[in-house]
A and B are shown apart, each in its own frame.
Chain A
Amino acid sequence: MIEFKNVSFAYEEGAKNVLSDIDLEIKKGECVAVLGHNGCGKSTLAKLMNGILIPTAGDVFVNGLSTRDEERLFDIRRAAGMVFQNSDNQIVSSIVEEDVAFACENLGMESAEIRKRVDEALSAVDMLEYRTHAPHLLSGGQKQRVAIAGVLAMEPQALILDEPTAMLDPRGRREVLDTVLGLNREKGMTVVLITHHMDEAALCSRVVVMHEGRIALTGTPKEVFSQVEKMRELSLDVPQTVKLLYELDSSLDLTALSVKECADQIEKYLRG
């Protein structure tokens, strides 16, 4: 679905590369979390995925189309929808449903078809009852879900989310995360989730860890998070369950990501 082939990127010519030698393939229906400390290039990686930025070297392909091909940029952006951190700066209209309709309107669809898509997108994020509200009166989590609906309405195959929960309280985070993971599980939507929260990454099917513009680690959450020392080297944390087991005895099996698995491990450990 999205493929990075030996991609390097610098914001200015001659400047230091922000990303170097990225090789990454995101398959259809995958749910990939991208982790890394501040400034390691996660947002830059995301912006390369739908042609907002064009690689300095190498190529990015979306559904086999190179993002260098300006003629196809429209199709690329339609296939890979992007949601940003600050929902306030993504909402265009003063009425929720008109905002969600924005992408469809740009596609030149018929009014009735737009209506259908808007209602579907708003139900998918559980915001249908707010369709005539003003966005500035909604909570942060609700606003972010409206922003997601606005992208869903163009029916993309992949959803790229750049720290969608960073500005939200725990409840708003939960709402947005449930929405996104639900889309992946129920509708088979490909999801790329950029996040700072290890517990969010633990819920994805694959984790990509970035460090200084390179991919440092990749694998299933269990594979990645069990390497506690390596993660510490990259100045990243691991989920609390793994941390607890690690502090208890670093030779334990560190693949427990849920509280239950963790409890089972501790029980086993205590019984010798």
Chain B
Amino acid sequence: MTNITLGQYLPGTSPLHRMDPRTKLCSLFIFIIALFMAKGPASYGLCVLFTAFAAILSQVKLKLILRSLRAIIFIVLFTAALNLLYTPGEEIFKVWIFTVTREGARIACAMAVRIILLVAQSSLLTFTTSPMSLTDGLETLLSPLKKIKVPVHEFAMMMTIALRFIPTLSDETNKITSAQKARGADLESGGLIKRAKALIPILVPLFVSSFRRADELATAMECRLYRGGEGRTRLHELKYGKVDAAGYAITVIVSAGVIVLARVFGL
């Protein structure tokens, strides 16, 4: 399991890869606001176009983006169906006790498009941003919250360490599993409860070793002069460049366009 990939980051050199994580996070946020204000086919169309543009710019294979959408297909269908059937309004047709209305059809389509675009955009973010730089971006963006005593740095540090130890612990889980199997533990057969019970001999050693690791890591961090986020600098300072200016400009213009189309012209 040493080749485990963290998150779904795909290294690359596209403009989206080179963009500062803060730009991507803020742009995503702005776009989501616009998306939820969209109303008619024109404003939704613009959102779809923008997402398609970002997808092409990211050079991520279409297949991969579709695969991340596959996971949510059930939710999309379910919300669409609910909206389709339970929205009152002008009747189009009626089957048994279900009535499909014009409003229902509209809302169902809108919901489906919203969810799909939302997930597509978020996956583009995680495809083009490494978990480390995502953490950095979040820490910097949220750092004003430190003023009201939100432990932003501590959360970011926790994320960093968690990311660092996921492969180590997954390796260790494999080792313990093999060791318990070698002692005759049966992990594959039996019902849910039996299998859950069989996990105890794996989880307990894993827990114990995690605590030992945490203790040693804390000592090692102290030895390397860690004393919290105060006065800490970074090897890779986040810096805005030309791509970021372009990124912000395009996102703001498109989002403004969507909002104007939807709220002023009602399209």
Contacts and interface: CB of A to CB of B under 8 A. Distances in A.
Contacts of B154: none
Nearest to A85: B216
A74 B225 contact: yes
Given A89-B216, A90-B220, A106 B234 contact: no
Given A93-B164, A107-B225, A154-B225, A52 B219 contact: yes
Interface string B105-146: 000000000000000000000000001100000000000000
A50 B224 CA distance: 11
B213 A150 contact: no
B235 A151 contact: no
B235 A114 contact: yes
A123 to B, nearest CB: 16
Interface in A87-139: 88-95, 97-98, 101-111, 114-115, 118, 134-137
B233 interface: yes
* Chain A interface main SS type: helix
A92 B222 contact: no
Contact of B227 (A50, A88, A106, A115): A106
Contact of B6 (A89, A94, A154): A94
A225 interface: no
A114 B160 contact: no
* Chain B interface main SS type: helix
A197 B216 CA distance: 23
Contact of A111 (B132, B163, B237): B237
B222 A108 contact: no
Interface in B206-236: 212-213, 216-217, 219-227, 231-236
Contacts of B168: 88, 136
B225 A78 contact: yes
B224 A154 contact: yes
A150 B220 CA distance: 10
Contacts of B220: 82, 84, 89-90, 92
A81 interface: yes
A93 B160 contact: yes
Contacts of B223: 50, 52, 77, 81-82, 151
B161 interface: yes
B236 A106 contact: no
A50 B216 CA distance: 15
B132 A95 contact: yes
A50 B212 CA distance: 21
B163 to A, nearest CB: 5
Interface residues of A, number: 40
Interface size classification for chain B:
20 to 34
B257 interface: no
A218 interface: no
A159 B19 CA distance: 40
Given A103-B225, A151-B223, A151-B224, A91 B235 contact: no
B189 interface: no
A235 B85 CA distance: 83
Contact of A92 (B212, B213, B221, B236): B221
A17 interface: no
Interface in B68-94: none
Contact of B164 (A84, A91, A151): A91
B15 interface: no
A136 B160 CA distance: 14
B155 to A, nearest CB: 15
A105 B216 contact: no
A86 interface: yes
B40 interface: no
B226 A102 contact: yes
Interface string B25-55: 0000000000000000000000000000000
Interface of A: 50, 52, 74, 77-78, 81-82, 84, 86, 88-95, 97-98, 101-111, 114-115, 118, 134-137, 150-151, 154
Given A89-B212, A94-B163, A154-B225, 4 more contacts: A74-B225, A77-B223, A90-B216, A136-B2
Ranked 10 nearest A-B pairs via Cβ: A101-B235, A89-B216, A90-B220, A103-B224, A136-B167, A106-B225, A108-B231, A82-B223, A111-B237, A94-B164
26 contacts: A52-B222, A82-B220, A89-B216, A90-B217, A90-B220, A92-B161, A92-B217, A92-B220, A94-B6, A94-B160, A94-B163, A95-B132, A104-B233, A105-B234, A106-B232, A108-B231, A108-B232, A109-B233, A111-B234, A114-B233, A115-B235, A135-B164, A136-B167, A136-B168, A137-B2, A151-B224
